[in-house]
Structures are given as C-alpha cells and as structure tokens.
Amino acid sequence: MALRTARWIGVAALVVGYPVLAHFTNQSASLRPLGAAVAVAPLVLIALALAWRSPRRGLMLGVLALACGALWLAWPALSQDFAVIYWLQHAGMQFALLVVFGRTLIPGQLPLCTRFARAVHAPMTLSPPHERYTRQVTLVWTLFFAVMGVASTALFFLAPLPTWSVFANFLTPLLVALLFIVEYRMRHWLLPHIPPTHILDAVRAFRRSAGSPH
C-alpha cells in the first residue's frame, strides 16, 4: 500500500512539476541549458524504457548510447533552439492522437470510443444509439486533437514563446479535462439508461481486452 501511494505521489509530482519546469525554462535565455535538458529528458527516458523491454536489448541500448552521444555533440545547437523540441513534442502528440482516433473512423473500422465502450460494458451489447454516440465522440476527439495541433503550431510560430508555453503546458491539460467532463455530462443526458463509467474504467477494460487472446 505504501509503495503504491508513493508511486502515485511520484506520478502526480511529475505530471504537475514537468509542465511548470518546462514553462519556467521558456521564460529566459539564461535557462537554455536547463531547458534543453528538460525538453530532451522525456524522449531519452521513453527510448530507454523501450530499449530495455526490447527482445534485442543489447542492440537497442547500444543504439540509444550512440543517439545520446549525438545529442551530446549537438548540445550547443540544442541549447539555442530547445523550444523547438517542446513544440515537436506537444504538436506531435496532438497530431499522433488525431491519427489514432481518426483512422478508426474510416469505413470498415471500429471507432476507438466504440471499442472502449464495448470493453467497459462487456459482455453486454451496445444499443444502436450508444454505438452512434460513441462514433460521434470519436469524431469529436479527432477534431479536438486536430484543432490543438494546429493551434500549437500557429502559436509557436506567430506568438511569443511564453504565450505558446502557457497554452501547451497549462491550457492543454485543462482543455482535455474539460472535454472529458462535458462528454461525461452529455452521455448521461443523451443515454440516461447507461450505467455510469469514467475514463479509468475504459482504460482498465481496454487493457484487459487488448491482452486477452483472440
């Protein structure tokens, strides 16, 4: 129990602390080395985790070591333009989620939110209105991520860097949370017979369905 609590505290501190630190480093040219380190750190940690879990761990760790060496050589340039890394991370994530949600709206594909709903409510079958609703929610998230990616890019190149930083580090998570809340309210208004669920239910059910044999 204590370990789980400590883990959640650590996650919460990271979720809150990283945007604050990222925004702080975007405020002054004197903080460029720190800004570059903060911008690159998530990429290196994700790459390390993937390399460690890879069946070819030794090879992938070697590739990562070479990449880190290249980062070290390019550090002076990175320190000058580290904000571009922040923008690539933020806008890239928005456009990646746009693709993840949007591709499931192609005819013949199962909309992503429909898949979430089926996993949450299994073994019940979704009613036709519920199916239509989940497809519409998938479309809403697709459009949301498209707007966020375009807005991030426009602000980065057309507005002062601190303005973009506020949008990327603080407004983005707030807007995501707001959309979750609005969708939750709309679902219970339009589909009052559906048992109440939340995002963690969907995540757990989706992980179970993804890990189950077909």
Q: Are 84 and 174 in contact (CB under 8 A)?
A: no
Q: Which segments in the chain show pLDDT lower than 70?
A: 1-16, 28-31, 196-214
| 66 CB neighbour count, 10 Å cutoff | 10
The tokens for 108 are 């013949």
What pLDDT score does 182 carry? 94
- Residue 40: which residues within 8 A CB-CB, separation 6 or more? 71, 78, 82, 85
DSSP classification of residue 29: G
Helix (H) or strand (E) holding 146: helix 128-158
Reference 164, options 154, 155, 175, 174; nearest CA is 155
pTM to 2 decimal places? 0.79
What pLDDT score does 214 carry? 43
Predicted confidence (pLDDT) per residue in 196-213, tens digit: 666 666 666 656 655 554
What pLDDT score does 213 carry? 46
